[in-house]
Structure 1
Amino acid sequence: MSEPHRLSGTAIWLLGRAAQRGHQLAQERLAAAGIRKWHYAVLAAVAEYGEQSQADIGRRLGLDRSDMVAVLNDLQADGYVGREPDPADRRRNIVTISDAGRTALAGFDRLIAEADSYLLADLSATDRAQLVTLLERIAHV
């Protein structure tokens, strides 16, 4: 069943639908590995930017403070991250990624790449690169 053209003929609607499909593909693959997208995002942020406060990670990712605590509790329970009080400010926690976290992240990266490939299977390599470039411009990253 087709959607009304006033919806399907707009970039806003199509971007939303594509994002919805992409999130679903990523979530399915990550869930099979026992994590959710925010777990992956936090691991990626700590791996890329190094140890940092949990508040800084939350701001970087746009993740609410209470959700950040829940994600870190899960990641710490899995042995993927460590949290220690900041020696300079005992009210802050510094988050570090463990060796197990780096190993797990590499596996999660493969799952995300698989979802990406599946989502973009109908596009040529040139089209994929162009799409990513355009989306970066729209998202201002």
Structure 2
Amino acid sequence: MQQPIDTDISSFLLLDIARLLRLEFERRVGDAALGITPGEARTLANVARFGPLRQNDLANLTGLGAMSITSVLDSLETAGMVRRSVDPKDRRAKLVRVTDKAAPLLAELKAIGDDVKAVTRGDISADDWGAFRRMLKTARDNHLAARRSKRATGDVCA
């Protein structure tokens, strides 16, 4: 008889937490009636976090396809929240950056994110929460280092 899958392994737990965080964030963005969709909020937050960045890199970060990210960016640009410009390193590529007009909305998104984090943290002590965050960062950095190493040897695509 085949063993059932252990749903408490770290990868399943991380995926569950990520899914629940996203659902809660998106629900709160919708409830806040900020004038943007949850997808636009995620996109704007990623541009603010990493920007300026190429439009295709933003698509990878958000998990949206090229057509979808273009539509989201069109809406954000029309609202004056982001600006696209030609990448000086590659004139075929577009760089996306937030505008000053986005600052109040980003502050509201940060408050929503802080509330979601508080739900996630619950009654976990500050020390344990700090240790948890450090371990997550180390795990992320391990994956990024492995990807860089494989790219350097030609084992994976960028």
TM-score by length of 2: 0.68
Residues in 1 aligned to 2:140 and 2:100: alpha-carbon distance in whole angstroms: 32
Partner in structure 2 of residue 129 of structure 1:
130
RMSD: 2.9
Partner in structure 2 of residue 102 of structure 1:
103
Partner in structure 1 of residue 67 of structure 2:
66
Alpha-carbon distance, 1:44 to partner: 3.2
Partner in structure 2 of residue 35 of structure 1:
37
Please list, as runs of the form range in 1=range in 2, the aligned pairs for 1:1-141 lying within 5 A after superposition: 7-32=6-31, 33=34, 34-36=36-38, 38-59=39-60, 63-86=64-87, 91-140=92-141
Alpha-carbon distance, 1:64 to partner: 2.9
Which range moves more in the overlay, 129-138 or 79-88? 79-88
Residues in 2 aligned to 1:58 and 1:6: alpha-carbon distance in whole angstroms: 32
Amino acid at match of 1:7: D
Alpha-carbon distance, 1:113 to partner: 1.0
Equivalent residues of 1:29, 1:111 under 8 A apart: yes
3-state SS of 1:7 partner: coil
The runs of at least 4 consecutive aligned structure 1 residues that moved more than 6 Å come to: none
Partner in structure 1 of residue 149 of structure 2:
none
Listed one character per residue, the Cα deviations across residues 54-95 of structure 1 (whole Å, up to 9, x for unaligned) are 234335555432222122012113221122445775533332
Q: How many residues align?
A: 137
Amino acid at match of 1:31: G
Equivalent residues of 1:52, 1:95 under 8 A apart: yes
Equivalent residues of 1:29, 1:112 under 8 A apart: no
Greater relative CO, 1 or 2 (CA 8 Å, sep 6+): 1
Change (3 A) 1:128 1:66: same
Unmatched 5+ stretches in structure 1: none
Residues in 2 aligned to 1:92 and 1:6: alpha-carbon distance in whole angstroms: 43
Which range moves more in the overlay, 40-49 or 100-109? 40-49
Residues in 1 aligned to 2:51 and 2:19: alpha-carbon distance in whole angstroms: 30
Identical columns (%): 24
Partner in structure 1 of residue 152 of structure 2:
none
Unmatched 5+ stretches in structure 2: 145-158
Equivalent residues of 1:53, 1:95 under 8 A apart: yes
3-state SS of 2:84 partner: strand
TM-score by length of 1: 0.75
Residues in 1 aligned to 2:88 and 2:13: alpha-carbon distance in whole angstroms: 48
Residues in 2 aligned to 1:134 and 1:26: alpha-carbon distance in whole angstroms: 23
Partner in structure 1 of residue 151 of structure 2:
none
